């Protein structure tokens, strides 16, 4: 136990004293904090919809007019019948400039000369042509112009028939007030933070798992293992490495995630709550994420360590761990694909398997309906599997550590263990 503590401390120091680890952790935490504090220093109202100069106690106000299409473009308009109402168009194309032209030839020339970004030729009250030099993926000018044409048509009809446009609009499209009372879970909100947490735990397992495997193989390839195995037990060595990696991973993700979540909590009102879908994670989900994520991480880390011991050169590590990474990738994609169907049978089954419960159980807790006994059963299976993985990992590690040369196949290693 004492030796385990010495190894744990030594390995942890290796992570923590690494410039890369410190720089990466601090950089991400600082970038996260700075980005989330931006509304305090610069006016981001156009982006957040909240005026930072307003008192933060003010109620969030929703604009009563439809969101205008912000555009700083210049449009050429050929309207021989004087059908288009420039004022109304300006309401729809907020900030845009319309230049009347005498024919479509002039319109096209303006586009070619780049003196206009796009152009409209209005042929009748219900027909127009849209001109653009290069159409981009996000070009929605014609959709907005459609709406403007419809509005003009409605206004004309009302005028011709002596009707009150605003009254008809009120009748036709009355403003509805809705107040949601969500009694259990808001999956539209939890979807995105679940998505983010699945990615985080996936990245942690892949990143630290590989690091542990490489660290084990490096000790073999530089022969440090020769002295180590005669100074302590293989169990202490493997457990020390894995637990140190777990602590480093938790520390790193804790610092980054913690900084981001706390920064957002302080600046939430300035953001108008717009990042709630990712950053307003309930405490119970975070706790389950931490518990299941850590156990899942340990489960894989022991196996990564054992896989590292089966090869003697660091360049062989990726081949040795390929089976494990494949399983992790599959679980990752299954989790993301089934994120909108967490009460489906696939996620239910995956939430009991130790290979996948680390990610699927907190998805079910955050977005689906899950009984407490299910969580407890899944947790017990996962804990038992972590212990099993630890024992199997240590046995493979013990067998592999002093065997140099060609990589040992997992099947051969398992057969060897069975014989023993």
Query: Smallest distance, Å, CB 399 to other proteins?
Result: 11
H or E stretch including 76? strand 74-78
Residue 228 near residue 397, CB atoms below 8 Å: no
β-pairing, 97-100 with 127-132?
A: unpaired
Structure tokens, 283: 């405490």
CB atoms under 10 Å from CB of 367, counted, come to 24
Rounded Cα distance between 320 and 221, Å, is: 15
Query: Smallest distance, Å, CB 234 to other proteins?
Result: 9
20: helix, strand or coil: helix
Query: Smallest distance, Å, CB 6 to other proteins?
Result: 5
Cβ closest to other proteins, residue 57 vs residue 420: 420
Query: Smallest distance, Å, CB 298 to other proteins?
Result: 23
User: Rule CB under 8 A: which of 194-223 touch other proteins?
Assistant: 222-223
Q: Kindly report the backbone phi and psi dihedral angles of residue 3, in degrees, each rounded to the nearest multiple of 5, phi listed first.
A: -70, -35
User: Rule CB under 8 A: which of 2-31 touch other proteins?
Assistant: 2-3, 6-7, 10, 14
Task: Name the percent of the chain in helix, strand, coil, to the closest 5.
Answer: 65, 5, 30
Cβ closest to other proteins, residue 4 vs residue 352: 4
CB atoms under 10 Å from CB of 377, counted, come to 14
Cβ closest to other proteins, residue 153 vs residue 231: 231
Query: Smallest distance, Å, CB 22 to other proteins?
Result: 15
Cβ closest to other proteins, residue 265 vs residue 409: 409
Query: Smallest distance, Å, CB 226 to other proteins?
Result: 4
Query: Smallest distance, Å, CB 20 to other proteins?
Result: 12
Cβ closest to other proteins, residue 310 vs residue 365: 310
Cβ closest to other proteins, residue 10 vs residue 94: 10
Q: Where are the beta strands (DSSP E) in 196-264?
A: none
Cβ closest to other proteins, residue 221 vs residue 351: 221
Helices (H) and strands (E) in the chain, counts: 18, 6
User: Rule CB under 8 A: which of 351-390 touch other proteins?
Assistant: none
Residue 23, CB-side half-sphere exposure with 13 Å CA sphere:
3
Query: Smallest distance, Å, CB 227 to other proteins?
Result: 6
What string marks each residue from 223 to 252 as x (binds other proteins by CB under 8 A) or -? xxxxxxxxxx--------------------
Buried b / exposed e over 333-352, threshold 16 CB at 10 Å, is ebbbebbeebeeeebbebbe
The reply to whether 409 sits near other proteins by the rule CB under 8 A is no
DSSP 37: H
Query: Smallest distance, Å, CB 284 to other proteins?
Result: 41
β-pairing, 97-100 with 69-70?
A: unpaired
Question: Count residues contacting other proteins (CB under 8 A)?
Answer: 20
Rounded Cα distance between 3 and 142, Å, is: 72
The reply to whether 164 sits near other proteins by the rule CB under 8 A is no
Cβ closest to other proteins, residue 161 vs residue 419: 419
Binding site for other proteins (CB under 8 A): 2-3, 6-7, 10, 14, 222-232, 402, 416, 419
């Amino acid at each position: 136990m004492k030796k385990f503590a010495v190894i744990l401390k030594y390995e942890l120091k290796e992570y923590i004293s690494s410039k890369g680890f410190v720089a990466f952790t601090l950089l991400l935490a600082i970038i996260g904090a700075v980005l989330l504090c931006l509304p305090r220093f610069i006016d981001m109202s156009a982006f957040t919809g909240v005026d930072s100069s307003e008192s933060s106690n003010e109620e969030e106000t929703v604009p009563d007019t439809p969101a205008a299409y912000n555009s700083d473009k210049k449009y050429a308009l050929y309207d021989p019948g004087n059908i288009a109402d420039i004022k109304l168009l300006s309401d729809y194309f907020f900030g845009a400039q319309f230049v009347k032209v005498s024919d479509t030839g002039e319109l096209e020339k303006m586009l070619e000369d780049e003196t206009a970004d796009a152009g409209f030729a209005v042929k009748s009250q219900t027909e127009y042509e849209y001109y653009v030099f290069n159409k981009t993926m996000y070009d929605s000018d014609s959709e907005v112009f459609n709406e403007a044409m419809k509005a003009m048509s409605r206004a004309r009809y009302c005028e011709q028939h002596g009707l009150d446009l605003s009254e008809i609009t009120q009748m036709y499209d009355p403003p509805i007030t809705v107040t949601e009372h969500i009694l259990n879970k808001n999956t539209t909100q939890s979807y995105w933070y679940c998505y983010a947490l699945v990615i985080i735990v996936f990245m942690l397992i892949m990143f630290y798992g590989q690091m542990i495997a490489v660290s084990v193989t490096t000790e073999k390839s530089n022969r440090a293992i020769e002295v180590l195995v005669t100074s302590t037990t293989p169990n202490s060595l493997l457990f020390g490495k894995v637990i140190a990696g777990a602590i480093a991973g938790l520390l790193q993700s804790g610092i980054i995630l913690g900084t981001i979540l706390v920064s957002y909590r302080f600046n939430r009102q300035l953001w108008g709550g717009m990042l709630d879908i990712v950053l307003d994670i309930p405490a119970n989900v975070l706790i389950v994420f931490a518990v299941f994520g850590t156990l899942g991480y340990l489960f894989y880390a022991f196996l990564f360590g054992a896989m590292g011991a089966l090869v003697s050169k660091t360049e062989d590590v990726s081949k040795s761990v390929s089976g494990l990474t494949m399983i992790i990738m599959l679980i990752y994609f299954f989790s993301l694909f089934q994120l909108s169907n967490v009460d489906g049978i696939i996620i239910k089954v995956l939430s009991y398997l130790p290979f996948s419960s680390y990610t699927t159980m907190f998805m079910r807790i955050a977005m689906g309906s899950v009984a407490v006994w299910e969580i407890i059963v899944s947790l017990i299976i996962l804990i038992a599997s972590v212990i099993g993985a630890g024992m199997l990992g240590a046995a493979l590690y013990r067998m592999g550590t002093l065997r140099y040369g060609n990589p040992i196949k997992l099947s051969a290693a398992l057969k060897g263990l069975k014989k023993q």
